[in-house]
Amino acid sequence: MSDSTDKSSLFSRIFSIARNTFREAIRDRILYNLVLFVLLITACAVLLGELTDGQEARTIVNLGTNAILLFGVFISIFVGVGLVSKEIEKKTVYAIFAKPVRRGEFIVGKYLGLSLTLLVNTLVMAIGVALALLYVGGGSLISAAMGAVSLIYLELLIVIGVAILFSSFSSPALSALLTFFVFLIGHLSSSLRDLGESLGSAVTSVVLTSIYYLLPNLSLFSFRTEAANGMVANAQMIAGGALYAGAYVAVLLSLTVVIFSRRNFK
Amino acid sequence: MTNIIEIENLSKEYETGFWKKKKTLALDGVSLEVGPGQIFGFLGGNGAGKTTTIKILMTLLFPTSGSAKILGRDISEVDMHRRIGYSPENPYFYDYLTPRELLAYFADLFGHDRSKSKAHIDGLLTKVGLDEKDWNKQLRKFSKGMLQRVSIAQSIINGPEVVFMDEPMSGLDPIGRREIRELIADLRSNGTTVFMSTHILSDVEALCDEVAILRKGKLAATGKLDELLVAEGRERTFEIIMKSISKNELENSLSGIAGMAIEEHPSGVTVKVIDENDVDKVLAAARKLGGRLISVNIVKQSLEELFVQETA
């Protein structure tokens, strides 16, 4: 078999696994969270205007982007940790690995499938925010909101990677907990580094600086408050975020593949 | 003749307990060769190591030591899996998919052309006897027997040269078992090698050309079924059925034959002897007493007896 044929089938296998993961998410009614989001954003658009004294557009961006992050993180963690562990627990991997599928292809396919699910989820939510803004006459904030949403999606891509990595060697509950901690610390990592430097202890400084470099710096993707104030994330910021997220996800998935490739399925 | 499966000194040790200090030897130096175009029965009691062996061959488990080749290639070569099929024990599949969707997904993994695979999938579902009304039902609504049929269908979706089936008859009713038995026999007729683990000995007797029996992770016996059942050292008896003669008369004139047993029944007697030379002695004595011969049969050890002997 030629190299090109092998490569094309490698991509088609990854694509098939991703498509099946997406289909699973749809059939497991994961996108039902959108209904809740639509209700929330509609209520916000209709009711909050009266309470916020003309600040309804700003409130919608604030509430909308935070809700997108919250819903997204929830799905990334709870679906992400189950992506691999559920397949092992339900023994569905048995038939997969008896076929010409490398374990790495499986991990990448599962990752892409959930990324696609979250892309659809985030896009629909973003459209909801845009419509709500149009409804309250805040169309000028749409581009600011969309910039923030793009950065949120990049952040979610990292969170999924973290969830898959943990689930490749620990239980779903522990993986969810650890991923949530990484998410929290990821938002505080810059502060932790500054804290380490200000405390004066060399050991603390090394530990906190190591955490800063080791864990993802998710504060890079926080642009929600700025967006509510009408600031638009520029292309350079989004491209930089995409590069950082891409590199971080590549490392996470590589580690996951290394761990998963050595795993016995008893 | 090139072997389809070659297993050499395969061992698998599990580390158990919180500190992984307790070790359990699930497979202990198993070596095995399986030739082409046959149905190979892989037998053993619960926990004998059958599923462990198959899982190692499918690269779901890594051996502690030893090696294995399928179709002349090391089991770690993923590309070799294009030419094999596997039906797991108690098959588990994505329960949100329908059989058609599941088979289409697996066909995709083999790189099959979607437009062509639809007819192939329908053909397979028909072949395994799955009712057409169930083809678009989600697998979560399927019985164990129906899942078993889907499992067999997916194991042959790529037209494999060798299929590994772990308890393929499990969960099937008698009609289903018969249909699957015919399907497995068909596979052999088409030149496919079938490596099958099962507990159902009547299926082994009906289907298998060769068998291997595992006992506590070790290979206890292997070979052609007929040869194993009459192998040297294994008991076979000669059964002489006669009428117009009584047990007492015969016992009095046939003293001194080692291992002889005489059973009386309404129409006559059945005499069992182990040594072939004793058959003539029994017949001569019966003739003198006016007995009439009905039949002389060689009674081989049954597979069940062999199984119990090798796995006990």
Q: What is the ipTM of this complex?
A: 0.86
Q: Please state the three-class secondary structure of chain B as a single string.
A: CCCCEEEEEEEEEEEECCCCCEEEEEEEEEEEEECCCCEEEEEECCCCCHHHHHHHHCCCCCCCEEEEEECCEECCCHHHHHHEEEECCCCCCCCCCCHHHHHHHHHHHCCCCHHHHHHHHHHHHHHCCCCHHHCCCCHHHCCHHHHHHHHHHHHCCCCCCEEEEECCCCCCCHHHHHHHHHHHHHHHHCCCEEEEECCCHHHHHHHCCEEEEEECCEEEEEEEHHHHHCCCCCCCEEEEEEECCCHHHHHHHCCCCCCCEEEEECCEEEEEECCCHHHHHHHHHHHHCCCEEEEEEEECCCHHHHHHHHHC
Strand B39-44 versus strand B210-215 pairing type? parallel
Q: Please answer yes or no on whether B81 and A98 come within 8 Å at the CB atom.
A: yes
Best mutation site among A10, A15, A28, A94 for testing chain B: the one with the most B CBs within 10 Å?
Answer: A94
Domain B237-311 belongs to what architecture?
Answer: 2-Layer Sandwich (3.30)
- Whether the CB of A11 is below 8 Å from some CB of chain B: the reply is no
- Residue A3 belongs to a domain: no
CA atoms within 13 A on the CB side of A33: 23
Task: Find, among B49, B6, B56, B55, the residue nearest to B28 by Cα.
Answer: B49
- Tell me what pLDDT residue B253 has: 84
Please tell me the distance from the alpha carbon of residue B170 to that of residue A92, in angstroms, as a whole number: 18
A13 touches chain B (CB under 8 A): yes
Cβ–Cβ gap A91/B81 under 8 Å: no
Q: Which residues in chain B are contacts of A92 at CB distance < 8 A?
A: 92-94
Distance from CA of A11 to the nearest CA of B (A): 10
Prediction pTM value:
0.84
Domain residue extents for chain B: 5-229, 237-311
Q: Is A210 on the interface with B (CB under 8 A)?
A: no
Give chain B's contact residues with A (Cβ, < 8 Å): 14, 55, 58-62, 78-82, 84-86, 88, 90-94, 96-97, 101, 105-106, 108-111, 151, 154, 158, 164
Q: Is residue A266 part of a domain?
A: no
Contact flag B109-A1 (C-beta cutoff 8 Å): no
The residue behind tokens 């959930």 is A114
Is there a domain that residue A21 lies in?
yes
In angstroms, rounded to a whole number, what is the distance separating the alpha carbons of residues B153 and B149?
A: 6
In a domain, A170, yes or no: yes
pLDDT of A57 reads: 87
Domain that residue A244 falls in: 8-261
CA distance B196 to B216: 18
Whether B138 and B98 have beta carbons less than 8 Å apart is answered as yes
Q: Mind telling me how many Å the CA of B61 is from chain A's nearest CA?
A: 5
CATH architecture of B5-229: 3-Layer(aba) Sandwich (3.40)
DSSP class of A266 = -
Q: Which residue has the tokens 């691999």?
A: A84
| Cβ-based contacts of A4 with chain B (< 8 Å) | none
Given this model, what pLDDT does residue A6 score?
46
Distance from CA of B188 to the nearest CA of A (A): 21
Nearest-angstrom CA–CA distance, B181 and B215: 25
Instruction: Provide the domain count of chain A.
Output: 1
CA distance B174 to chain A (A): 26
Sheet holding B84-87, edge to edge: B84-87, B162-166, B193-197, B39-44, B210-215, B218-224
Mean pLDDT by 10 residues, chain A (266 residues): 52 95 88 79 73 77 91 92 90 93 96 96 92 88 94 97 94 94 89 76 82 89 91 93 97 96 89
pLDDT in tens, chain B (312 residues): 589 999 999 999 988 777 777 888 999 999 999 999 999 999 988 888 999 999 999 999 999 999 999 999 999 999 999 999 999 988 889 999 999 999 999 999 998 888 888 999 999 999 998 999 999 999 999 988 899 999 999 999 999 999 999 999 887 888 888 888 999 999 999 999 999 998 788 888 889 999 999 988 999 889 888 777 766 556 678 889 998 888 888 888 887 788 788 888 888 899 988 888 889 989 998 888 888 999 998 877 677 777 777 776
Helix, strand, coil shares of chain A as percentages rounded to 5? 85, 0, 15
A265 reaches B (C-beta below 8 A): yes
Residue of A nearest to B90 (CA): A91
Q: To the nearest whole angstrom, how far is the Cα of B206 from the nearest Cα of chain A?
A: 27
Neighbours of A2 (CB within 10 A): 7
B58 with A98: Cβ contact below 8 A: yes
Contact flag B105-A92 (C-beta cutoff 8 Å) = no
Within 8 A of A95 by CB-CB distance, chain B residues are 86, 88, 91-93, 106, 151, 154
Q: Which residues of B touch A16 (CB under 8 A)?
A: 105, 108-109
Q: Is B259 left (phi over 0), alpha (psi -120 to 50) or beta?
A: left
Q: Which of A14, A17, A20, A86 to mutate to test the interface with B (most CBs of B within 10 A)?
A: A20
Contact A215, A155 (CB under 8 A): no
